[in-house]
Every structure is written in structure tokens, then in C-alpha cells.
Structure 1
Amino acid sequence: MSSPKVTVLDFGIGNLFSVCRAVEKCGADVELVDTCPRADQVERLILPGVGAFAKCLAAMRRYGAVDLAREFAETGRPMLGICVGMQALFEIGEEFGEHPGIGLIPGRVQKLAPAPGENAFKLPHIGWAPLERPAPDRWDGTPLRSVLPGEYAYFVHSFHGMPEHPSAILATTHYGSTRVTAAVAHENVTGVQFHPERSGPVGLRILKQFIAG
């Protein structure tokens, strides 16, 4: 039996080496592509991304990843956005002005801000934080289905997605007393703000469940 195939887009921005190694460790064949494939050539798709929202989206557009992601979402096959790749799934990003995203998840990407009455905190938010589940059955049928609430993942970010519909929030965490969107999902599309490839056994379990579809 052949191994599951995962396509990782190489549009010049992303933690590609670590992502590919983690996916391979989970038993998949990884195809790292620097030329945009057609949607019908892809079984499972990973959108990586680091840095500023606008720069990442500009690179995605030059590569063709924005149109590919929209077309691939229509196939019903699994897609995963990581870090800024997760933020790219939203309609608008507010980093250094307003910039359009892919638009698969209604909402905006906004700067982390202290809760009312809380002292200012340092940005970026860097380090391990527990994953919280907004509803008891929210992780069923998603890549987080093997995670236990309170298990830790590794974050590096200053912005996070704010979905228009709360049902799109798959997981949260806290920075100080500020509630942070840690993961989002809509049908076959999942996005994680944390780095599963840097989150130890928890991250590998998430990638394995994504690969399993």
C-alpha cells in the first residue's frame, strides 16, 4: 500500500524543512513544490507561512497559492494552514494596513492586545501554551481529535485570526488573560496558529490526524 501524499507549497516563505521532516516522520510522502500545482494533482495540502501577513500573501499570489487554495477547498480534500498560513485563510489581515487574504474563513487577522485592565504584554507571543477546546465535541473529526484539552503547543506570533462566526474557532489559548485563537476549521480546511512541527508529540499527533484525513 502506498503512503499518503502531502503537498507542501514552497512560495519562498515558511518553515519548510521542519514541516517536511515532521510530515515524513508521521508516515507520509512529502512533495515540496516550488511551482504551483493544479488542485487535481494534490491529495493533501499544507500552506506554510512566517513573518508579516502582507508579505506572505504577496508571495502566495505570485506563486498562485491563493487561487490554488480556493480551488482545492472545493475538492473536499484536507488542507492545513500553519502560522501565517493559517492567518492567510481569513478575509482581511490588519498587519501594516489592511490586506486581503484568501477568504476561506470569514473574519480578520488582528494584533494581540491585552484584555481590558491588563498591563501591556510583550510581542511576539513566544513559547508553549495549552490548547483549550471551546466545546466538548469540537475536536471530533478534526486533526485535533487525538489531543487532550490542556496539552501544550508552541507559538510564535503577534497577530491571530478573529473569525466572524464563533463556530469556526477550533481551539483557543491565553496570553495573559487575553483569549487567543489557536486553531480554526471550516469543512475540510483547518488552520493552526501554533507550529505543530515544533510542538513535540502533540504536534505530531495533529499532523498524523491531518494525514489520515
Structure 2
Amino acid sequence: MSLPPLLPHDGVAAELNPRAAASRGAGSRAPRVVVLDYGFGNVRSAVRALERVGAQVELTADNDAALAADGLVVPGVGAFAACMAGLRAVRGDQVVDRRLAGGRPVLGICVGMQVMFDRGVEHGVESDGLGEWRGVVERLDAPVVPHMGWSTVEVPAGSRIFAGVEHERFYFVHSYAAQAFTQGHDDAADPRFTPPLVTWAHHGTATRGARFVAAVEDGPLAATQFHPEKSGDAGATLLENWVTSL
């Protein structure tokens, strides 16, 4: 069964501002956000965190709702291959593709970010991802794995989702990550092309550790390896920045 047509975006882009939700006029409609419920992810904490920053949130696997929402959040915890299987089971892979093709915002969190890459390798088994970005998600090359706890990140100039929290720490819990990022867009030679903004983090010691992709902002697609819903005020500001852009 084919997916329904992608609905036009009826929202108006807002200026990204950590306090934008609080200052939204009484007559303004709260952005509608769907958290994709496909069996993997800290969905309840994500829903609560998004509601606290002003979103009207629905937790569902319904394709119509996911396509119609102002924003779609793809959470994810556990194994790369299992998350991909869960996404395909609810046709979430098609929903993500359709939304991005129409310029509609998508936010991936943790393994929800990892599956945006071409491939994931776990225990010697390679699995296909959604292929939105070129790259391989692999086990961290660090003395202690998993990487669990608070870490600072290297935010590039011009980041919108990190506005106001560029120097803050965020909460990570993962054993795998993309440790390289290849631009690889077919239209990279086009002068109108805007390359993705990649935020990096480091786990390990000064002599041995892994530098990995902590977040990516790429047009309508944004994603974080860390858990903004567990990252206190900094994570709330990041989510608010994303919600107020819808």
C-alpha cells in the first residue's frame, strides 16, 4: 500500500530563540510534533521534554499523522539493525524519506540519528541504514565503552539548534557512533548547496579515544547522538530551538 501524498506545510518558520516558545502569542498555534512510536526509544521522556518547550505532541506510528505533523522525531535506543527493522515494520523509513523530500523537518535522537547513515556494523554484522548521509556507524575505539555521561561538543559556526548552548554539556549513552562524515551530496558543486553542519565530540583519553559525530544539521534533517531529553536545561534549549523553527 502506498503512502498518502505529502501534505503541504501550513506552519510559518519562526526565528530560533531559546525563549521563543514562552513569548509565543496566545493566539498562535503550538507546533504539532509526532514522536514515531516504532518500539525503540525513550519515547515518554521525549514526549514530556517536547511538551515542556511548547510542542503539541502525539506518540504514534500512524503514517498519516507522521506525514502531516510540523515536525517528526525519530527516537532510538538499542541495536542499529533492530531499530531499522522496527522502522520498516511501521513504514517509518518511507515516512522519513517522504518528509525530507518535501523539506519537512525531522529530528533523529541517538540510534534515531545513527540510522540516518548508510550502514551500521555491530558484532561483525553490517546492516543498511536510511542512507540520508554517507558513513558507517561502528563501535567506538576508546578505552571505556559504552560512553555514558556528560560531554562537551564542538559546535560549528552558524548552528541553529545549538544557539545559546554552544558551550554546554550533553548527556550521552552509546557504544557506537559515526566516526567520520562525508559530504557526498550529488549537488555539492552547486553554488546554492549548503553543506551540513557537523558537531563533534570526543570520548576517551588524550592519547587514545574516539572523535565522533555528535550532531548534524542538514536542511530539514537534524539529529543528535546524545539525548537532549536527558540533558537538562541545555537539552531543553536545543529542543526548544528546533520546535520554534517548525
TM > 0.5 fold call = yes
Q: 1:197 to 1:38 in 2, by over 3 A?
A: closer
Count residues in correspondence.
202
1: distance between equivalents of 2:181 and 2:222? 13
2: distance between equivalents of 1:14 and 1:7? 13
1: distance between equivalents of 2:75 and 2:66? 17
Q: 1:197 to 1:108 in 2, by over 3 A?
A: same
Q: Flag structure 1 segments of 5+ consecutive residues without an equivalent.
A: 115-120
Q: 1:39 to 1:7 in 2, by over 3 A?
A: closer
2:146 aligned residue (124, 149, 170) = 124
1: distance between equivalents of 2:110 and 2:34? 17
Cα distance, 1:40 vs structure 2: 4.1
2: distance between equivalents of 1:90 and 1:37? 25
> Could you tell me which residue of structure 2 aligns to residue 108 of structure 1?
136
Q: Which has the higher Rg, Structure 1 or Structure 2?
A: 2
1:1-213 alignment runs, 5 A limit: 1-37=28-64, 40-96=67-123, 97-114=125-142, 121-133=143-155, 135=156, 137-139=157-159, 142-149=160-167, 151-161=168-178, 162-165=180-183, 168=196, 170-176=198-204, 177-213=209-245
> Could you tell me which residue of structure 1 aligns to residue 8 of structure 2?
none
Q: Flag structure 2 segments of 5+ consecutive residues without an equivalent.
A: 1-27, 185-194
Cα distance, 1:168 vs structure 2: 3.7
2: distance between equivalents of 1:37 and 1:156? 32
1: distance between equivalents of 2:170 and 2:34? 23
Q: 1:3 to 1:38 in 2, by over 3 A?
A: closer
Residue 77 of structure 2 aligns to a residue whose secondary structure is: coil
What's the C-alpha RMSD, in Å, of the aligned pairs? Answer: 1.6
